[in-house]
Amino acid sequence: MSAHSSIPVVTVSSRGATRLKNGHLWVYRSDLAKTDGVPPGVLVHVQDERGRKLGSALYSSSSQIAIRLLTSKLISEAQLLPLLRERIDRAVAFRRQLLRNSDSYRMVFSEADLLPGLILDKYNDVLSMQVQTQAFDRQDIRQTVVEAVAEHFPDCSLFDRVDAHIRQLEQLPPRESQLVLGDTSKSIFTLNGVRFHCDGLGGQKTGAFLDQRENYAAAARYAHGEALDCFTYQGGFALHLARVCHKLTAIDSSRPALEVAELNEQLNRHAHTCGEIEWVEANAFDLLKDYSTSGQQYDTIVLDPPAFAKTKKAVGTALRGYKELNLRALKMLRPGGVLVTCSCSFHVSEGGFLEMLGSAAADVGQRVRMLEKRGAAIDHPVLWGVPETAYLKCVICQVIE
Ligand code: SAH
């Protein structure tokens, strides 16, 4: 016990304890007894109201997510860094074993790799780290992460990707995104043979939604004819579809994103079988409305909007937004046409999303069959008990009559 004597002990309510027993790693501040004097970002031991020990966690003094459980063992401060290092090593080994033919993937996915608060992404020879908690912002913990990256990827650079909003929530001082290892944050990376620009620190931030990697390939299996990619960002789906579709329109409301998309298109021009992609800067809601009223038709439509429901309360409004988009898209599909439709709102459940799709199909009076029900790529595993890790839904369906 003496080795642990300096480690603060926090007491969780029975609701908090049940949450942990059911496999979640988070306990909200409202489920903690007083934590006066517990410093930000420290290792704490967790106990229930009867004093039964539930494990060791990382503490945040400001976030609503007050503790993130690391292990159900009671560890000492001296065991913390070796444990984190071991988990990074395991995360790296898992991806290396699984993703032999991809140069880009999520190396560490926070909770799902039992490193709650850390994200590491690999874009070919450039890695980015995102620190999401007070604990992972600690100098010694950052150092552990950087050393692990330097050892596993000696030829890669690493940059620190700062999310100002998260730093505010965690009451951490502002910090600039910067290079930590190597001399460039620029690279060209490949997803399923399609090439993309990456520049984590440049004027135009470039990167990718790595969670969609396998969905891009799946979409390209069914896509054909004339295609429309709504919310294209830097062209993720569009550039994959360009290999199989003869005509493509890609929409986004962000001009800078479309500028990068065009650069990405140039990178892949040699591999294209179709003509040029038409990149359209517009509000996808307005444009879909215009296109559908004017009787425009497509063979393939992709919908990958940003998270509409940021909170539980917003779910109703979000589902109405999804329904509007999906309804218009289904209406515009020719028989045999394929809809690839996604939601990255954790608060919208898979069940709720499928129900919305069913009701949209019924409203337009079409026979629609589901071809695939998908989630995020395998480098973003779902941790049982932590539903937040299962945020992405991607459904591929087909209008058959
Ligand atoms: N499909 C992309 C990721 C989409 S992210 C990929 O696979 O890489 C969501 C995108 O929606 C962002 O690029 C954002 O600029 C865009 N966006 C947000 N609101 C929009 C709107 N109302 N109309 C069109 N684009 C919008």
**For residue range 252-298, what is the model confidence (pLDDT) as tens digits?**
999 999 999 999 999 998 876 666 799 999 999 999 999 999 999 99
Q: What pLDDT is attached to residue 3?
A: 53
Q: What pLDDT is attached to residue 206?
A: 79
Q: Which 3 state secondary structure label does DSSP give 278?
A: strand
**Does residue 231's CB lie within 6 angstroms of at least one atom of ligand 1?**
yes
Protein residue closest via CA to atom 11 of ligand 1: 231
Alpha-carbon span 398 to 106, nearest angstrom: 30
Cβ-in-10-Å burial (0-12, 13-18, 19+) of 349 comes to middle
Tokens found for residue 177: 């995104």
Q: What pLDDT is attached to residue 274?
A: 67
Q: What pLDDT is attached to residue 100?
A: 87
Tokens found for residue 161: 């990707």
Q: What pLDDT is attached to residue 111?
A: 98
Q: Indicate which atom in ligand 1 lies nearest the CA of residue 208.
A: 8
**Does residue 306's CB lie within 6 angstroms of at least one atom of ligand 1?**
yes
**Does residue 253's CB lie within 6 angstroms of at least one atom of ligand 1?**
yes
**Does residue 236's CB lie within 6 angstroms of at least one atom of ligand 1?**
yes
Task: Give kind and range of the element (H or E) at residue 46.
Answer: strand 43-47
Q: Indicate which atom in ligand 1 lies nearest the CA of residue 257.
A: 13
**Does residue 285's CB lie within 6 angstroms of at least one atom of ligand 1?**
yes
Give Cβ neighbours of residue 386 (< 8 Å, ≥ 6 apart). Answer: 23, 24, 25, 26, 111, 112
Q: What pLDDT is attached to residue 254?
A: 96
Chain-centroid distance, C-alpha 187 = 20
φ, ψ of residue 383 to 5 degrees: the values are -90, 120
Pocket test for ligand 1, best of 196, 211, 253, 290 (most atoms within 8 A of CB): 253
Q: What pLDDT is attached to residue 256?
A: 95
Give Cβ neighbours of residue 399 (< 8 Å, ≥ 6 apart). Answer: 330, 333, 334, 335, 336, 337, 339, 366, 367, 368
Report CA torsion sign: 34, 39, 41, 46.
negative
Ligand 1 centroid–CA 307 distance in Å is 10
Ligand 1 centroid–CA 208 distance in Å is 12
Ligand 1 centroid–CA 48 distance in Å is 44
**Does residue 212's CB lie within 6 angstroms of at least one atom of ligand 1?**
yes
Alpha-carbon span 86 to 96, nearest angstrom: 15
Pocket test for ligand 1, best of 121, 233, 255, 328 (most atoms within 8 A of CB): 233
Q: Indicate which atom in ligand 1 lies nearest the CA of residue 304.
A: 1
Protein residue closest via CA to atom 10 of ligand 1: 231
Using an 8 Å Cβ cutoff, are 379 and 209 in contact?
Answer: no
Q: What pLDDT is attached to residue 5?
A: 65
Protein residue closest via CA to atom 6 of ligand 1: 236
Q: Comparing C-alpha atoms, which of 326, 330, 319 is closest to residue 365?
A: 330
Ligand 1 centroid–CA 31 distance in Å is 36
Q: What pLDDT is attached to residue 247?
A: 95
Q: What pLDDT is attached to residue 160?
A: 96
Calculate helix-pair angle for 139-152, 77-98, nearest 10 degrees.
Answer: 30
Protein residue closest via CA to atom 7 of ligand 1: 236
Pocket test for ligand 1, best of 252, 265, 285, 328 (most atoms within 8 A of CB): 252
Q: What number of other Cβ atoms are within 10 A of residue 279's Cβ? A: 21
Alpha-carbon span 313 to 336, nearest angstrom: 37
Q: What pLDDT is attached to residue 272?
A: 60
Q: What pLDDT is attached to residue 2?
A: 43
Ligand 1 centroid–CA 122 distance in Å is 22
Q: What pLDDT is attached to residue 186?
A: 94
Q: What pLDDT is attached to residue 209?
A: 94
Using an 8 Å Cβ cutoff, are 46 and 72 in contact?
Answer: no
Q: What pLDDT is attached to residue 401?
A: 82
Q: Would you write out the chain's pLDDT as a tens digit for each of its 401 residues?
A: 445 568 999 999 999 999 999 999 999 999 999 888 999 999 999 999 999 999 999 999 999 999 999 999 999 999 999 999 999 999 999 999 999 889 999 999 999 999 999 999 999 999 999 999 999 999 999 999 999 999 999 999 999 999 999 999 999 999 999 999 999 999 999 999 999 999 988 767 778 899 999 999 999 999 999 999 999 999 999 999 999 999 999 999 999 999 999 999 999 988 766 667 999 999 999 999 999 999 999 999 999 999 987 888 889 999 999 999 999 999 999 999 999 999 999 999 999 999 999 999 999 999 999 999 999 999 999 999 999 999 999 999 999 98
Positions marked catalytic: 344
Give Cβ neighbours of residue 165 (< 8 Å, ≥ 6 apart). Answer: none
**Does residue 297's CB lie within 6 angstroms of at least one atom of ligand 1?**
no
Q: Indicate which atom in ligand 1 lies nearest the CA of residue 283.
A: 23
Q: What pLDDT is attached to residue 1?
A: 43
- Which residues are 398's β-sheet partners? 338, 369
Q: Comparing C-alpha atoms, which of 172, 170, 175 is closest to residue 159?
A: 175
Ligand 1 centroid–CA 217 distance in Å is 19
Q: What pLDDT is attached to residue 8?
A: 96
Ligand 1 centroid–CA 39 distance in Å is 39
